[in-house]
Structure 1
Amino acid sequence: MSQERLPEEIVAILENMFGRRNGALALHEPEFAGNEWNYVKECIDTRWVSSAGPFVDRFEREMAARTGAAYAVAVVNGTAALHVSLLLAGVKEGDEVLIPSLTFVATANAVSYCGAIPHFVDISGTTLGMDAGAMETYLNDIVHFDSEGEPRNRITGNRIKAVVPMHTFGHPMDLDPLMELCLRYRLELVEDAAESLGSTYKGRHTGTFGRLGAFSFNGNKIITTGGGGAIVTNDAELAKMAKHLTTTAKLPHRWTYMHDQVGYNYRMPNLNAALGCAQLENLDQAIADKRAVAERYVERFSSMPGLRLMTEPVDCRSNYWLNALILDQPDPAMRDRILQQTNDAGFQTRPIWVPMHRLPMFEHAPRMPLPVTQRMEDAVINVPSSQGLIHC
C-alpha cells in the first residue's frame, strides 16, 4: 500500500469497525451503567451535596483498596492532586522537578504552582514514558551534590528535588530503573497516574511506587466523578497533611473557623464522590471492555504497513485509556492529513500534546536533548477509545 493512501485506509478501517458516521464519534465518552443516578439522588435527597458527606469517605476508602495504597485523599481534580503531592514531597520555590516534556500541561503547571521549575526529560519510544537510561546519562553530566548532599544542577545551581513520571494513555512506564535513579540521586518520586487507574506494573498498581501518586477522574477518564482527583500514599502523616491542606487547613472544631497555615480549597464534593463510587463498582468491566476494544484495533491495524498500534509494555497490564496509532516514519504533514480525513469522516482523532518545552511559558526551562519526544509529536494519533465502542 502506498503511504499516500494511509489516511484513506485508516478511515476505511474505522468505518468498517464502527460504521459510517452521521455525527462525530467521540474520542472518549463516559459510561453510566450502574448506580450513578441512585447515589447522586441520595446526595440530593439528604442535602449532602457539597464538601463533606458519606460518599467522600467511601470513595477514599475504595480508591485506597483499589490501588493497594494505605490511604487516598479525594480532591477537586488531578492537577490539584499533583500540586499538593509535590508540596508534601518537599518541593519548594526555586527547585527543579524532572518531568517528561511529552505530557499533558497539568504536570508542568503543578510544578509551577509550587514556585518550582519544570526540567524536561526525554521519553521511551516504546512506553512513551520517561526513559530512565537516557536520564541516567544526562544526570551524570549535570548533577553535583552540595555540602549537604543535595543534588544540584551544575548549570543553574538549583536543587533538583523530585521526579514526576507520567503513565501515557494508561500504559505504565518502566519504573524499576527510574526508582534506582531516584535512590542514587536522592530524588523524590511523585507519580502522575492521572490516566492509569486500573493499570499495573509487575503486578502493582501505578501511583503507589513513589511517596505519593495522583489520579484524575475528569469526564474523559476511565472512571469519572465529573471533575475530580485523588492523592494516594502509604504514609499516614502525608495522608493526614494532604487532607488538611486540601480542606483549607482548617483545624477541627464544632463551630470555630481556625486555620493554621495557607491551605487550598481542593475538596471533592460529596455529589462528585457519589458518582465516583458508582463508577468504581464497574471499573473491572470498564477495563475489560476497553481492553477488548484495543484487541479489535490490534486485529485491524497489526498488518497495516507504515504504522503500529501502541500496546501494553512487558510485565504490565494497561487500562488502554486511549488507543494510539504511531507512524513508523514521523511525518507532521502525514499526521495532519490523517487527522483531517478521520475527523472529516466523523471520527474524533487527535495528536499527542504539544511538548511542554515548546509552550511559551516553558520554552526557557531547563531540558535534556529530546529527540524521541520530537519524533513522537509528529507520529502519534489517538483514535476513539470509549468503553461503549465494544458494542459497535
Structure 2
Amino acid sequence: MISLAIPNLNGNEKKYLDNCIDTTFVSSVGEYVNEFEKMVAESTGSIGAVATSSGTTGLHSALTSVGVKHGELVIIPTFTFIASANAIRHCGADPWLMDISEEDWCLNPVLVRSEIEKHCEKRADGILYHKENGKRVAALMPVYTLGNVPDMEAFRKIADDYGIPLVVDAACAIGATYDGKKFGSLADLSVLSFNGNKTITCGGGGAVVGCDQDRLDHVRHITTTARVWPDYDFDEVGFNYRMTNVQAAIGVAQMERLDSFIDAKRRARAYYEEKLESWAQDKGITFFPTTDGSSCWFSGIVLPEGAHLEDAKRVCAKLKESEIEARSFWKPVHLQKPYADCPKSDVSIAESLWQRIITLPCSTNITEAELKKVTDSVIEILN
C-alpha cells in the first residue's frame, strides 16, 4: 500500500529515544523538550515556543491566554479540521463560522470584515459584540489550510481595527513562509500540530509560537498547571498540557530534516500537477491551491463542479484496489452535529468544495516510482 502520509523515521529518532530511556528523562522535563522548542521557534521566526501535548491543547491554551471565555465568539473558517472548533468550545465559547476564499481555501478576510460590519457593534465599553446574540467577539482565528498562509496583513488590520486578538491555527504549516518571511510574527500567537500525519511529527504534540514574550510566558504558565514555584501554589486554573521528553526526542530528530521534508512535500505537489495537468483540464479537474511559500502539507485533486462525496469515495475505493491510499477531506464545521446551531456566514464555497476533494499520497519518503503509479492509476480510474 502506498500510504497517504506516514512518518519518516529514518533519522536519529531511535538514538534519541534510547537516550531518554538511558537517562530516565521520559516525562515533561528533559533536554529534548528545550531543544525542540528552540528549533520550532527558529523555524517559525518566533522569539520562543511552548511545546504542548497536542495541537488542540495548544489552541485551547492560546485562546485561553488571549482571554477567550465562556459565552463568547471566535471567528474561524467553517472549512477546517474540527479541532479548531473544539478548542474554542473547550474555552466555553462558540465558533462564528465563515466561508473561505477559492484562491487559497483559507478564511476570507473581505467576508470577515463585511460580516463584522453587518452583525456587530462596539458598545460604550469599546468591546465588539454580536448584535443578534449579544456575545463578545473574543478572537479572530484564521487557519493556514494545507500550509497556505493567507493575506495576514488584512487579518492584522481587522484585528487591530476592532480590538480583537489574532490567533492562528497553523497546525500543518511548519516550513511555510509569507512574503518570503517566516510566519511567527504575523499573529499574536500561532499554534502548530505534530500529529502522526504532519510533515514533522512527535507521534503527537503541538507548540504555541509568537513574538510577544509576555504572552508566551503566560501560555507556558497555564500549560504547566499554573504553578507558582517552588511550593504547591497555583494562581489560576491551569492545564497539564506539557509535551513529554519522549515526544520531543522524536521531534528533534524530525526537525533536523525539516528542509528536506518540506522539499519532498513540494516535489510531490509539483509532480502531480505536472503529470496530470493537461489531462485534468479536459476533465474539469483541478488541484489544491498553493500560495507563495506554502508548506504543501497535502496534495491531491478536486473533482469537477457537480460531483459529490460519493463520487470521491468511489475514486478512493478504486485507488485502494490498486494499493493506493486516498481519502476525502474535511467536512465543514457547520455540518458537524456539535456546531450545527453556531452563527455562520454564507458558506457556499466550502459547501461546494469539500465533497469533491481527494487527497493523494504525499509522504516525505514517497518515491518517484510510487508517484508515477498514483498518477497512472488516477488517470485510468477517472477515464
State the TM-score, normalizing by the size of structure 2.
0.92
Q: Specify the alignment match of 2:301 in structure 1.
A: 325
Cα distance, 1:298 vs. partner?
1.0
Shift of 1:149: 1.3
Distance 1:177 1:301, change over 3 A: same
Q: CA deviation at 1:334?
A: 2.7
2:337 alignment partner, SS class: coil
**Which letter maps to 2:181?**
R
Please report how far the alpha carbon of residue 292 of structure 1 lies from its aligned counterpart in structure 2 after TM superposition. Answer: 1.1
Choose from 307, 311, 315 the match for 2:285: 307
1:78 corresponds to 2:55: yes
Is structure 2 residue 239 aligned with structure 1 residue 264?
A: yes
Q: Which moved more, 1:108-117 or 1:171-180?
A: 171-180
SS class of match (2:233): coil
Contact 2:334 2:342 survives alignment (8 Å)? yes
Looking at structure 2, the residues matched to 336 and 293 of structure 1 have their Cα atoms a distance apart, in angstroms, of 22
Question: CA-to-partner distance for each residue in 1:278-334, whole Å, 9 max, x for gaps?
Answer: 110100010111111111101112112221112422xx2112110031223141043
Give the counterpart letter for 1:41 in structure 2.
D
Q: Distance in 2 between matches of 1:186 and 1:319?
A: 30
Instruction: Find the partner of 1:116 among 90, 93, 104.
Output: 93
Instruction: Say which of 241, 248, 253 aligns to 1:278.
Output: 253
* Deviation by residue 1:25-84 (Cα, 9 ceiling, x = unmatched): 211001012211111111111111111011111111111111110110001000000000
Distance in structure 2 (CA, Å) of the matches to 1:135 and 1:239: 27
Counterpart-to-counterpart distance in 1, 2:332 and 2:65: 27
Find 1:375's aligned residue among 352, 357, 360: 352
Aligned to 2:186: 209
Secondary structure of the corresponding residue to residue 127 of structure 1: coil
- Asked if the contact 1:196/1:206 (under 8 Å) is kept, the reply is no
- Equivalent of residue 240 in structure 1, options 201, 211, 217: 217
Secondary structure of the structure 1 residue equivalent to 2:366:
helix
**TM-fit CA distance, 1:136:** 2.0
**What is the DSSP-based 3-state SS (H/G/I as helix, E as strand, rest coil) of the residue aligned with 2:89?**
helix
Q: Contact 1:330 / 1:378 at 8 angstroms: preserved in 2?
A: no
The alignment's TM-score, normalised by the length of structure 1, stands at 0.90
Distance in 2, matches of 1:337 and 1:59, equals 41
Question: What residue ranges of structure 2 are gaps of 5+ in the alignment?
Answer: 370-383
RMSD: 1.3
Cα deviation digits, residues 98-150 of structure 1 (max 9, x gap): 01111001000000000011110000112110011122222221111111111
Alpha-carbon separation, structure 1, partners of 2:22 and 2:311: 54
Q: 1:232 to 1:330 in 2, by over 3 A?
A: farther
SS at match of 2:234: coil
- Corresponding residue number in structure 1 for 2:341: 364
Q: Deviations over 1:183-211 (max 9, x none)?
A: 22222110000010001111222353111
Query: Aligned pair in 2 of structure 1 residues 237, 77: CA closer, same or farther (>3 Å)?
Result: same
Letter of the structure 1 residue corresponding to residue 293 of structure 2: R
Aligned-partner Cα distance in 2 for 1:206–1:352 = 25
- Which residue of 1 is the match for residue 373 of structure 2? none
1:61 and 1:291, CA in 2 relative to 1: closer, same or farther beyond 3 A? same
Secondary structure at the counterpart of residue 188 of structure 1: coil
The Cα of 1:266 is off from its aligned counterpart by 0.5
3-state SS of 2:191 partner: strand
SS in 2 for 1:302: helix
Q: Is the 8 A contact 2:105 2:289 kept in 1?
A: no
Is 1:288 the equivalent of 2:263?
Answer: yes
Is the partner of 2:316 in helix, strand or coil?
Answer: helix
Give 2:37's aligned amino acid. E
Matched residue of 2:345: which SS? Answer: coil
Q: Say if 1:197 and 1:206, in contact at 8 Å, map to a contact too.
A: no
Which runs of 5 or more residues in structure 1 are unaligned? 1-23
- Amino acid in the other structure paired with 1:170: G
Does residue 190 of the first structure (1) align with residue 163 of the second (2)? no
CA shift, 1:231, in A, is: 0.4
**Partner of 1:4 in structure 2?**
none
Aligned to 1:88: 65
Q: Is the 8 A contact 1:59 1:273 kept in 2?
A: yes
From the superposition, tell whether residues 122 and 214 of structure 1 become closer, same or farther in structure 2 (CA, over 3 Å): same
**Equivalent pair of 2:272/2:300 in contact (CA under 8 Å):** no
Give CA deviations for 1:330-359 in whole Å, capped at 9, x if unaligned: 410432332222233222111121111111
In structure 2, how many angstroms separate the alpha carbons of the residues matched to 1:350 and 1:372?
20
Determine the C-alpha separation between the residues in 2 that align with 1:27 and 1:174.
29
Mark the CA change 1:328 to 1:186 in structure 2 (over 3 Å): closer, same or farther. Answer: farther
Report the CA distance between 1:391 and its aligned residue.
Answer: 4.9
Structure 1 residues 75-224: aligned runs within 5 Å? 75-224=52-201
CA distance in 2, matches of 1:391, 1:329: 30
Query: Between the two proteins, what is the percent identity of the paired residues?
Result: 34
Cα distance in 2 for partners of 1:233, 1:177 equals 18
Partner SS for 1:324:
strand
1:68 matched to 2:23? The reply is: no
Work out the CA distance in 2 between the residues paired with 1:298 and 1:96: 39
8 A contact 1:167–1:173 mirrored in 2: yes
Runs of 4+ in 1 over 6 A off after TM superposition: none
